[in-house]
């Protein structure tokens, strides 16, 4: 047991403390009160019990300083006395076995117990046994059976799932080690094992890499990151002990890293689209989430065989090196900081190469495209996935974060990190189609739409046809609906919208982009060769009729171009916006911050009755490259209406389409009998096809007829879900069985 204690202590404490941590400890020591009512004046009683979590967090930090051998506070008698007093005060005034739990169950059963147990590990030989026993009695009471949660708050406690189950198992395991109870540690291990399975409904990881928490929320970047961190901590902690987790658990964790986290990592940080409430927390932004994934991967590598270890560490090395905005080593935990330094110095572990791919997470309505120097994400919701989560006073203005929100990431690593969420216009998030009306905090949170057609088809993990049938659940009175598509064609992204309708007078807009600018707000923006929006501090909307627009980035490689394939009217606004973390999170700082933004949007007017939009996003294109593309576009729109969205890319040989309605409809060379997403590509040997049912509810075969320019002579490869009929001519008929396919794509390879 002592070995397990020592191993866990290495996770949380080292020899030294960073300057910021020392300052916090000094502040907490100087401001600690000796009063019955309060321990710190700035931590008043909170009805949700968050004050208890803050208090134990401060005591834990002070205990770490006390036990860090090269820290000025090492074994400081005054600090030791204050930590002891703080724990006694906590027991007497806030957290004891006689309390009647109130507020948020999470603080009582997870947050406070884990922090308290880690504090006891640090202070074990410095505290009276009687105090330790009283605190452990309290922890054991409120944590209870890890298989259930909220046990003191509801008559019938619901099962613990996902991250909550891992956290509760962690609390039981730590208590068992401190108490020296081997049987209890075995029980904690057994309680954890149900986490290690992929799910087909509810909370957990899915086969396609999706991660769900709280029943229907996409949460890889929030609860998923926490689950991975704590699963890996426990797995490495128990490795080579009688309580070691089974090999199958390790193998599945490796798959989770590969399928769920690696696709969302870009230049060392984690994309925002599956962060949930985390986006409203100043200390849990995308770089912090990325650092957590890096930490988990470094720890996990310790229990892998050599080949797996090198493969994972080469990725980790690439992430650490690429993130020059927020350095991993600046705030790495003690046990991984040294490991990361050694990795950077290890010439035998080469940097993994950047990968180009397209991935659809069909079970959480999220999509990512990564290409040379950029990543592009799409956030959606449907009849299966909730709009957004806003509870506990967090994510108060997340109204439209799943309305097709599309973020383009590039070499400007602070684009979505430097106070983006408190200062961006929450009604004008890029990619969204919305009514431009401020809503009440939390409006529309936790809502499903009545629309099933959300998802798409992906060919060869490279090219995607993504679709979203949008229904507004934030402002239902306006009755806004729209059909939205994204065709992901390498370094060209075609965004189409049709059938945009609403019934009230609120203005409807589709936001092309809303990019945070450099600190001076003077990034150049050009339309058809003419500079616009020249005055950073002068918020005046300009109306354009562009063929193309180019926006200069704040760093090399951060430029972006836009091509408009049809005549249109675009509005452009450069403005300085102000906001605070408190405006989007009750626990945030009220300090006002200012940032410059450049917004481009289509105005659909009031009560649109079937409006459309179209543009092509060109990541990393210079002004000259954007202008050249507009003169000779390799992409053209084949159809844009309420029946079909279809495009063709002549350079890639791709035709892609969304068939929105049930019933036969022919678009160009492709006819389809029902709702479907299709990507078709010409290659030297013939054709490749991907097909999917984004609705995930169809049970009857979907029939497709395709007329090719050359006779099809053979079927080189096909999914078992596809049946095909061809007669040696250029016409092919196939049947796709969508029943139970879960929105996944299925493939067919045809030869000529």
Label residue 602 exposed, middle or buried (CB < 10 Å: 0-12, 13-18, 19+). Answer: buried
pLDDT tens per residue, range 112-134: 999 999 999 999 999 999 999 99
| SS3 at position 740 | coil
Q: How many helices (H) and strands (E) does the chain have?
A: 16, 35
434 vs 476, residue with greater confidence: 434
Q: With 90 as the cut, is the pLDDT of residue 8 above it?
A: yes
As a whole number of angstroms, the distance between CA 154 and CA 73 comes to: 43
Architecture of domain 637-751: Sandwich (2.60)
| Whole-number pLDDT of residue 539 | 80
For residues 4-31, give the mean pLDDT: 93
Chain centroid to CA 593: how far? 24
| Whole-number pLDDT of residue 535 | 83
Label residue 752 exposed, middle or buried (CB < 10 Å: 0-12, 13-18, 19+). Answer: middle
**Residue among 456, 272, 273 at smallest CA distance from 360:** 456
- What crossing angle do the helices spanning 2-12 and 225-238 adopt, rounded to 10°? 140
| Whole-number pLDDT of residue 504 | 84
Stated length of the chain: 752
**Residue among 592, 549, 213 at smallest CA distance from 205:** 213
Tell me phi and psi for residue 577, to 5 degrees: -110, 155
| Whole-number pLDDT of residue 437 | 84
Cβ–Cβ < 8 Å for 42, 101: no
**Residue among 282, 284, 325, 521 at smallest CA distance from 412:** 325
Tell me phi and psi for residue 727, to 5 degrees: -120, 20
Cβ–Cβ < 8 Å for 545, 565: no
| Whole-number pLDDT of residue 342 | 97
As a whole number of angstroms, the distance between CA 627 and CA 621 comes to: 9
Instruction: Pick left, alpha or beta for residue 81 (phi over 0 → left; psi -120 to 50 → alpha; otherwise beta).
Output: alpha
Per-residue exposure over 678-717, b if at least 16 CB sit within 10 Å of its own CB, e if not: bbbbbeeebbbbbbbbbbbebeebbbbbbebeeebeebee
Q: With 90 as the cut, is the pLDDT of residue 352 above it?
A: yes
Q: With 80 as the cut, is the pLDDT of residue 257 above it?
A: yes
How far apart, in Å, are the Cα atoms of 101 and each of 109, 154, 251? 10, 11, 39
| Whole-number pLDDT of residue 132 | 97
As a whole number of angstroms, the distance between CA 30 and CA 22 comes to: 12
Tell me phi and psi for residue 517, to 5 degrees: -100, -175
H/E stretch holding 63: helix 50-67
As a whole number of angstroms, the distance between CA 587 and CA 589 comes to: 7
For residue 693, the cross-strand partners are none
Confidence of residue 478 (pLDDT cuts 50, 70, 90): confident
Architecture of domain 363-633: Distorted Sandwich (2.70)
As a whole number of angstroms, the distance between CA 75 and CA 55 comes to: 21
| Whole-number pLDDT of residue 726 | 81
pLDDT tens per residue, range 391-416: 999 999 999 999 999 999 999 999 99
Task: Cite the DSSP H helix spans in 499-620.
Answer: none
| SS3 at position 148 | strand
| SS3 at position 278 | helix
For residues 18-25, give the mean pLDDT: 92
Which residues are catalytically annotated? 214, 223, 277
Number of CB atoms found within 10 A of residue 395's CB = 25
For residue 731, the cross-strand partners are 707
Per-residue three-class SS string for 281-348: CCCCCHHHHHHHHHHHHHHHHCCCCHHHHHHHHHHHHHHHHHCCCCCHHHCCCHHHHHHHHHHHHCCC
Mean pLDDT of the chain: 96
Cβ neighbours of residue 257 closer than 8 Å, sequence gap 6 or more? 228, 296, 297, 300, 312
Cβ–Cβ < 8 Å for 64, 17: yes
| Vertex 629 angle, CA 628 and 630, to 5° | 90
Cβ–Cβ < 8 Å for 588, 422: yes
Confidence of residue 353 (pLDDT cuts 50, 70, 90): very high
Structure tokens at 234: 């426990």
Percentage of residues in the chain having pLDDT higher than 70: 100
Domain locations in the chain?
Answer: 363-633, 637-751
| Whole-number pLDDT of residue 536 | 78
Q: With 80 as the cut, is the pLDDT of residue 537 above it?
A: no
Cβ neighbours of residue 238 closer than 8 Å, sequence gap 6 or more? 4, 189, 244, 245
Label the pairing between strands 548-551 and 525-527: antiparallel
pLDDT tens per residue, range 204-220: 999 999 999 999 999 99
How far apart, in Å, are the Cα atoms of 529 and each of 398, 540, 547, 565, 600? 36, 20, 10, 17, 17
For residues 324-341, give the mean pLDDT: 95
Question: How is residue 669 annotated by DSSP?
Answer: T
Confidence of residue 100 (pLDDT cuts 50, 70, 90): very high
| Whole-number pLDDT of residue 730 | 85
| Whole-number pLDDT of residue 752 | 86
- What crossing angle do the helices spanning 19-31 and 77-93 adopt, rounded to 10°? 60
| Whole-number pLDDT of residue 572 | 97
| Whole-number pLDDT of residue 517 | 96
| Whole-number pLDDT of residue 477 | 86
Chain centroid to CA 263: how far? 10
For residues 690-716, give the mean pLDDT: 95
**What global pTM score does this model have?**
0.95
Dmax of the chain from CA atoms? 89
**Residue among 446, 439, 448, 473 at smallest CA distance from 392:** 446
| Whole-number pLDDT of residue 540 | 87
As a whole number of angstroms, the distance between CA 343 and CA 316 comes to: 9
As a whole number of angstroms, the distance between CA 654 and CA 487 comes to: 10
Cβ–Cβ < 8 Å for 484, 497: yes
As a whole number of angstroms, the distance between CA 121 and CA 506 comes to: 58
| Whole-number pLDDT of residue 710 | 87
The rounded radius of gyration (Å) of the Cα atoms in the chain is 27
For residues 83-111, give the mean pLDDT: 96
| Whole-number pLDDT of residue 39 | 97
Question: How is residue 303 annotated by DSSP?
Answer: T
Q: With 90 as the cut, is the pLDDT of residue 505 above it?
A: no
How far apart, in Å, are the Cα atoms of 204 and each of 165, 220, 269, 363? 10, 10, 22, 11
Number of CB atoms found within 10 A of residue 637's CB = 18
Label residue 576 exposed, middle or buried (CB < 10 Å: 0-12, 13-18, 19+). Answer: middle
As a whole number of angstroms, the distance between CA 750 and CA 154 comes to: 58
For residue 501, the cross-strand partners are 481, 609
| Whole-number pLDDT of residue 599 | 97
């Amino acid at each position: 047991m002592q070995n397990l204690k020592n191993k866990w202590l290495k996770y949380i404490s080292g020899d030294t403390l960073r300057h910021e941590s020392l300052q916090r400890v000094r502040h907490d020591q100087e401001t600690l009160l000796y009063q019955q009512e309060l321990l710190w004046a700035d931590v008043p009683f909170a009805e949700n019990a968050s004050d208890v979590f803050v208090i134990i967090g401060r005591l834990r930090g002070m205990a770490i300083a006390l036990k860090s051998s090269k820290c000025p506070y090492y074994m400081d008698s005054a600090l030791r006395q204050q930590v002891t007093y703080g724990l006694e005060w906590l027991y007497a005034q806030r957290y004891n076995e006689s309390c009647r739990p109130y507020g948020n169950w999470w603080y009582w059963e997870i947050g406070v117990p884990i922090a308290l147990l880690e504090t006891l590990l640090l202070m074990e030989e410095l505290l009276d046994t009687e105090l330790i026993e009283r605190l452990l009695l309290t922890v054991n009471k409120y944590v209870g059976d890890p298989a259930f949660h909220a046990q003191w708050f509801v008559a019938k406690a619901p099962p613990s799932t996902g991250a909550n189950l891992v956290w509760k198992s962690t609390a039981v395991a730590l208590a068992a080690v401190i108490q020296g109870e081997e049987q209890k540690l075995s029980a904690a291990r057994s309680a954890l094992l149900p986490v290690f399975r992929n799910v087909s409904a509810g909370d957990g990881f899915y086969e396609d890499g999706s991660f769900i928490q709280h029943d229907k929320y996409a949460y890889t970047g929030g609860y998923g990151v926490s689950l991975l961190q704590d699963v890996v901590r426990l797995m490495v902690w128990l490795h080579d002990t009688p309580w070691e987790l089974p090999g199958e658990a390790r193998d599945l964790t490796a798959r989770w890293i590969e399928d769920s986290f690696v696709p969302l990592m870009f230049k060392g940080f984690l994309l925002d689209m599956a962060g949930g409430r985390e986006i409203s927390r100043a200390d849990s932004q995308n770089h912090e989430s990325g650092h957590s994934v890096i930490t988990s991967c470094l720890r996990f590598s310790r229990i892998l065989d050599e080949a797996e270890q090198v493969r994972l560490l080469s990725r980790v090395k690439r992430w650490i090196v690429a993130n020059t905005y927020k350095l991993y080593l600046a705030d790495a935990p003690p046990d991984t900081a040294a490991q990361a330094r050694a990795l950077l110095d290890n010439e035998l572990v080469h940097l993994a190469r950047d990968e180009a791919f397209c991935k659809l997470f069909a079970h959480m309505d999220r999509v990512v495209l990564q290409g040379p120097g950029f990543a592009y994400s799409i956030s959606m919701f449907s009849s299966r996935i909730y709009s957004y989560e806003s509870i506990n006073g967090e994510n108060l203005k997340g109204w439209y974060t799943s309305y097709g929100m599309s973020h383009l990431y590039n070499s400007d690593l602070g684009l979505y990190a430097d106070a983006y969420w408190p200062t961006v216009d929450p009604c004008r998030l890029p990619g969204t189609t919305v009514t431009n009306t401020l809503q009440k905090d939390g409006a529309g949170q936790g809502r499903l739409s009545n629309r099933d057609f959300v998802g798409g088809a992906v060919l060869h993990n490279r090219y995607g046809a993504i679709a979203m049938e949008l229904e507004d659940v934030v402002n239902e009175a306006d009755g806004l609906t729209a059909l939205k598509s994204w065709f992901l064609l390498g370094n060209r992204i075609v965004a189409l919208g049709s059938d945009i309708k609403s019934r009230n007078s609120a203005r409807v807009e589709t936001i092309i982009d809303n990019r945070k600018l450099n600190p001076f707000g003077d990034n150049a923006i050009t339309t058809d060769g003419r500079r616009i929006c020249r005055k950073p501090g002068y918020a005046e909307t300009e109306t354009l009729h562009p063929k193309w627009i180019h926006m200069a980035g704040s760093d090399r490689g951060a430029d972006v171009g836009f091509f408009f394939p049809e005549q249109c009217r675009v509005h452009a606004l450069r403005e300085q916006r102000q906001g605070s973390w408190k405006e989007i999170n009750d626990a945030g700082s009220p300090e006002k911050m200012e940032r410059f933004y450049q917004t481009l949007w289509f105005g659909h007017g009031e009560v649109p009755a079937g409006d459309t939009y179209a543009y092509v996003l060109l990541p990393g294109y210079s002004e000259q490259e954007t202008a050249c593309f507009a003169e000779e576009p390799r992409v053209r729109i084949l159809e844009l209406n309420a029946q079909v969205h279809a495009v063709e890319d002549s350079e890639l040989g791709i035709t892609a389409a969304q068939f929105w309605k049930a019933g036969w409809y022919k678009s160009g060379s492709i006819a389809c009998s029902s709702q479907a997403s299709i990507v078709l590509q010409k290659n030297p040997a013939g054709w490749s096809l991907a097909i999917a049912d984004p609705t995930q509810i169809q049970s009857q075969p979907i029939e497709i007829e395709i007329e090719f320019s050359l006779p099809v002579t053979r079927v080189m490869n096909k999914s078992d879900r596809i049946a095909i009929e061809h007669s040696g001519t250029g016409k092919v008929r196939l049947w796709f069985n969508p029943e139970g396919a879960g929105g996944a794509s299925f493939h067919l390879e045809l030869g000529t």
